[in-house]
Chain A
Amino acid sequence: MTETDLDGSGHETHQHAGTAPMVEEVTDFEVLEIALRELAIEKGLFTAEDHRRYTEHVEQLEPAAGSRFVARAWLDPEFRRLALDDAVAASREMGIDWLHPTGFGTPSDFTAFEVLEDTPTLHHVIVCTLCSCYPRPILGMSPEWYRTPNYRRRIVRWPRQVLAEFGLYLPEDVEVRVEDSNSKHRFMVLPVRPDGTEGWSEEQLAEIVTRDCLIGVALPKPGVTSNAVRPVHPAVRPVTSD
């Protein structure tokens, strides 16, 4: 983005805190993205309608589906068995169809889903050291930190140190099991139901199962209903929904 003196012509401007108003300048990434999408549609590789439909599919994905999944597994032993046995079938019971929206799933996520059951002496944490494989159909888009080389480099070799940086200190009698999600299986952690939640409803339980718990960098705790607060890098032109 270039700083530009305004000429009062009424051009669309954007006020940035603490800086002069600027005319919005297109970025190289935006230009390339538009050029490629135009050419792909003109050549018949896909249609504008395909792109719109898939965008709609992506925009309705959210980690709340995974939270509800875990809450139900805590309450319903039969569902828990199904979740551990055939997590794709269990997802379907929760209204998540891994074959959507193409009929064969989301191309990058595949349709092999596995739930990793924590116990009082076993804790799972998930990474993809080779890219950023993540169970989007049930958790939505992965957080930025999960994709970084830093997390991917270190969690497979210094897991306890990295978990400590997330605020999770595990005692030595808990085995840490790192799941490197390097092929077609996608994974989600089923944490141990914490003490102090006796008699809670599925909705109440789901609230404490944050996305971080489902990746394995946090444990559910009564009273904690959101991920740890982290710095957010703002977008120049963030996603707008119609």
Chain B
Amino acid sequence: MVVGNSVLGDLSSQLRVAFHRVQDWAYPDQVDRDAFRAYMKTPHDVGGEPDPPALFEDKEEEQWELNTFVTCEVLGWRGIWTSEERRRIGNVDLGRTNYLGLPYYGRWLWAIARCLVDKRHITLGELIERVGEVRDRYAGGIRGPLDAAPRTTGNTDAVARNRHHVDAIGKGDPQCFADTAGTPGFAVGDAVSVRELPTIFYTRTQEYLRGASGTVAKVSYESLAPEDEAFDREDQESEWFYIVRFRMADLWTAYTGPPNDTLQAEISERWLRPAV
């Protein structure tokens, strides 16, 4: 039975800035295991967090939102990053306050800026200057079309790019990793448990599944693990992924639905062990 997120008000999902604390920066001996785990929790991992019902809404898309989405995808197309790097930067690295505070595509935009600076395609000084310039361009309001006006066209051959955007052509992803991970360790019908490894910086194995047991429903594909892909580690070995089926009643204490309700998620081999 998973303890994390299984009771209302658990620290891991409910960590907030502690206004009642007089002192910032707790002393090391004041951070116990639970608090450490809560601080290290990746903010994108929200499954099972208590939240009251809300009105489900639609939203009209801003032009800059579409432009941002397309820029992210084109950066993937041209080998500047993989989408997993984008997810790590824009959904986790920016921290919980910004994750829950900024608009959805505001975080995609943040991720572009961070990637371009971190990977040394631009300097932070260049970005700051350009943002200032664009702001000044429209200082008196928008009087014409609102669009990018690049001054030059860069030499695309001089740019450092990943291997993936070439290797995957004609195959797709994850098909580009086919036949690289050997024999799958598990087969359909196998009983497996999700390992309770610590969370550090990034993962796609949800907290609410840690320690839970389920059954392999599908042997999916071979791929780099998200922990590697998110950090541009093309040098790492690929592994098998599995769709695992869990009983809801095994995931949540006091699950309120019928006992045969289920949930499936896709997990990499490193996170699985034969069920005990």
Contact = CB atoms under 8 A, between A and B. Distances in A.
Interface of A: 4, 11-12, 23-27, 29-48, 50-51, 54-55, 58, 88, 98-99, 101-108, 110-112, 114, 127, 129-132, 141, 143-145, 147-154, 156-162, 165-166, 172-173, 175-185, 230-240
A160 B256 contact: yes
Contacts of A179: 263-265
Given A43-B122, A185-B243, A233-B59, 6 more contacts: A42-B152, A144-B59, A153-B51, A157-B5, A160-B257, A235-B61
Given A31-B131, A183-B220, A184-B223, A153 B48 contact: yes
Contact of A129 (B46, B63, B256): B46
9 contacts: A38-B130, A51-B70, A110-B174, A129-B47, A130-B44, A153-B47, A184-B223, A231-B57, A238-B62
B192 interface: no
Contacts, number: 353
A3 to B, nearest CB: 12
A232 B109 contact: no
Interface stretch (B16-24, B31-39, B77-85, B182-190): B77-85
A58 B149 CA distance: 22
A45 B154 contact: yes
B212 to A, nearest CB: 12
Contact of A111 (B74, B174, B260): B174
B146 interface: yes
Interface string B189-211: 00000000000000011101000
B87 A110 contact: no
B83 A102 contact: no
Interface string B203-236: 0111010000000001011010010000000000
B156 interface: yes
Contacts of B66: 55, 58, 239
Nearest to B149: A38
Contacts of A51: 67, 70-71, 74
A46 to B, nearest CB: 5
Given A26-B146, A32-B113, A45-B121, A39 B221 contact: no
B174 A55 contact: no
B12 interface: no
A128 B239 CA distance: 22
B264 A152 contact: no
Q: Interface range on chain B: under 10, 10 to 19, 20 to 34, or 35 or more?
A: 35 or more
B60 A111 contact: no
B272 interface: no
A21 B171 CA distance: 53
- 9 shortest A-B CB distances, which residue pairs? A107-B76, A44-B154, A111-B172, A129-B47, A104-B168, A145-B56, A183-B266, A23-B141, A144-B59
A182 B242 CA distance: 11
A104 B46 contact: no
Interface of B: 5, 44-51, 53-78, 80, 82-83, 86-87, 91, 100, 103-106, 109, 112-113, 116, 121-122, 126-127, 130-131, 133-135, 138, 140-144, 146-159, 165, 168-176, 204-206, 208, 218, 220-221, 223, 226, 241, 243, 245, 248, 251-252, 255-258, 260-268
Contact of A150 (B54, B135, B221, B256): B54
A25 B169 CA distance: 42
A30 B264 contact: no
A33 B243 contact: no
Nearest to A173: B258
Contact of A44 (B73, B100, B153, B252): B153
Contacts of B252: 157
B70 A36 contact: no
A90 to B, nearest CB: 15
Nearest to B145: A240
A32 B154 contact: no
A240 B263 CA distance: 40
B91 to A, nearest CB: 5
A8 B255 CA distance: 64
Contacts of A232: 57-60
